Amino acid sequence: MTEIDLEDLPGVGSTTADKLREAGYGTVESIATATTSDLAEAAEIGEGTAKKVILAARKMADIGGFKTGRDILDKRKDIKKLKTLVPEFDELVGGGLETQAITEVYGEFGSGKSQLVHQMAVNVQLPIELGGLHGCVLYVDTENTFRPERIEQMVNGLPEEADLGPLEDILERIHVARAHSSDHQMLLLETARELANDLRTSDYPVKLFVIDSLTSLFRSEYAGRGTLAARQQKLNRHMHDLLKLIDDHNAVGLVTNQVMSNPAVLFGDPTKPIGGNIVGHTATFRLYLRKSKGGKRVARLVVCFMDGLCKMVGTDGTIIGENGGVYRRGFPGTLHIPGDQTACLEAFEVLKDYFAGNGVELELYSAQYRFADVAFARNIDVDEARRVIHDRQLPVKVLDTGFAVHLQTPGVNKGTAMRELAREMGLSPTEMMAIGDSENDIEMLEVAGIGVAVRNAPALTRTAADWVTEGTYGDGFLEAVKKYYPDLFSR
């Protein structure tokens, strides 16, 4: 891509450009993915001007419009893999830690989390042909765990052909900052952005961003359920700031996380990571480390469905999920959560107690990876569940998708999410096509410019659609795309 000066953006003079660079917005791409309020504050300009600058940056950087699958495939070709040099581990994560993605490593004390990030701080400096990225690392240390002596031991354990030069040079390429509070930790990412921009054209650009540990300071400062919402909102912002960084620099994001025991788990491993769904959805890859016999360590890959699917298919990470309860524009974007999962969980407990009296046990689906609603098996009378919710005057609605029963906040649906997502993208919903197969898709089909229902959809869904396919399920989806976007199949 041709380099574009910030001064080329309309409304950005030399003074404003200098302020943007000082705030870490040194590239058009970083401005294109910024929020209006953040840019206005950084450059000391009005929000109206900031919005115009962002829109112009998106146009110049070719960010924010629709792309074909081939375009996205080409972008994914830029993704590199940072190897651990442990063959079994690298195979587990698909060949190494991906750039443009956050890998979360969680486990108990002494499970090897910090040792792994120390090793990756060395490996990232290796040439690409030896499994590295020929880059340096920015390392945010929240627990005072970084040890230069450990780096020396790991350098000595590298293959003979891996010559990184003197230890002093290797340590010079590891930039460590000690965080003392959650606010300081978040501020350090701003500093990291400035330093990464300065090093972009150096011999060793930043190719690895480490936070060890991600949640330690948040956990100590926000104790108790009363502060949970504030902590999660702050953590969500922090994670998305990291996403923007790694996307802008085609770098690896690697964070470690503490764990807690889930008392509700009577059988199996009760260990779960801190941070809940906020961390679970933002991290593309989750690795669980635990101790084993003989001083060994066991690593297990934990899949986050929505983001994992986006990565597998090759989209940019723009999603509407949980029946409209969450939506996000691209992997670096902010995950919006209009739904209220707390109310849904409370309603689920009421239904659980009610149906337990009838001998039916309800269990949540994928609770670890949901933000806004709850889902459980269709092993109950759905109309009876609706009557219970109505009689108890609970502030949720019951959805039957045909695959599961969902409890959702009233007023939250895929149509509302599509409107908000379109607004964030600078589009009208009438410029979008929606394809659905369930009653929870009706609002989305009514909002979209083109609403398509596949043949197996319920009658109400087919009635709401502009067109109904001949094919069912995936065949119907493909039929709709071919009908309205035939050029995608002629390239």
Q: Tokens 């709709």 appear where?
A: 480
Q: Between 195 and 63, where is the model more confident?
A: 195
pTM over 0.85: no
In this structure, of 63-77, 310-324, 390-404, the range with the lowest mean pLDDT score is: 63-77
317 is in an annotated binding site: no
In this structure, of 94-108, 326-340, 408-422, 426-440, the range with the lowest mean pLDDT score is: 326-340
Q: Is the pLDDT of residue 429 over 60?
A: yes
Is residue 265 very low, low, confident or very high in pLDDT (cuts 50, 70, 90)? very low
Q: Pull the structure tokens for residue 69.
A: 């699958």
311 is in an annotated binding site: no
Kindly report the number of other CB atoms within 10 A of residue 166's CB atom: 9
112 is in an annotated binding site: yes
Q: Between 82 and 232, where is the model more confident?
A: 82
CB 131 within 8 A of CB 96: yes
Contacts of residues 314-321 at CB distance under 8 Å and 24 or more positions apart, as own/partner, are: 314/69, 314/72, 314/73, 314/76, 315/72, 316/67, 316/72, 316/75, 318/421, 320/414, 320/417, 320/418, 320/421, 320/444, 321/371
- The CA distance from 102 to 96, in Å, is 12
111 is in an annotated binding site: yes
Q: Pull the structure tokens for residue 118.
A: 């120390």
In this structure, of 152-161, 299-308, 416-425, the range with the lowest mean pLDDT score is: 299-308
Which residues are within 8 A (CB) of 19 and not within 5 positions of it... i.e. 6 or more apart?
42, 43, 44
pLDDT, tens digit, 9 for 90 and up, residues 116-173: 999 999 999 999 999 999 999 999 999 999 999 999 999 998 888 888 999 999 999 9
Query: DSSP string covering 62-99, please?
Result: T-SS---HHHHHHHHTT--EE--S-HHHHHHTTSSEET
476 is in an annotated binding site: no
108 is in an annotated binding site: yes
Sign of torsion over alpha carbons 255, 302, 112, 228: positive
19 is in an annotated binding site: no
φ, ψ of residue 472 in degrees (nearest 5): -110, 160
Write down how long the chain is: 491
- The CA distance from 31 to 61, in Å, is 10
Percentage of the chain beyond pLDDT 70 is 86
pLDDT number for residue 65: 59
Average pLDDT over the chain reads 83
pLDDT, tens digit, 9 for 90 and up, residues 320-357: 887 888 888 887 777 788 878 888 888 999 999 999 88
CA 415 to chain centre: 22
Q: Which domains does the chain have, with CATH numbers?
A: 6-63 (1.10.150.20), 73-317 (3.40.50.300), 341-408 (3.90.1070.10), 414-489 (3.40.50.1000)
Is residue 359 very low, low, confident or very high in pLDDT (cuts 50, 70, 90)? confident
pLDDT number for residue 314: 64
pLDDT number for residue 376: 87
Q: Between 332 and 472, where is the model more confident?
A: 472
Q: Is the pLDDT of residue 267 over 80?
A: no
Q: Between 38 and 84, where is the model more confident?
A: 84
109 is in an annotated binding site: yes
Percentage of the chain beyond pLDDT 90 is 36
- The CA distance from 337 to 321, in Å, is 10
pLDDT number for residue 277: 62
**Mean pLDDT, rounded, for 180-189:** 91
- The CA distance from 459 to 335, in Å, is 32
Q: Is the pLDDT of residue 1 over 50?
A: no
Region label for 206, one of left (φ > 0), alpha (ψ between -120 and 50) or beta (otherwise)? beta
Q: Is the pLDDT of residue 271 over 70?
A: no
Q: Is the pLDDT of residue 23 over 70?
A: yes
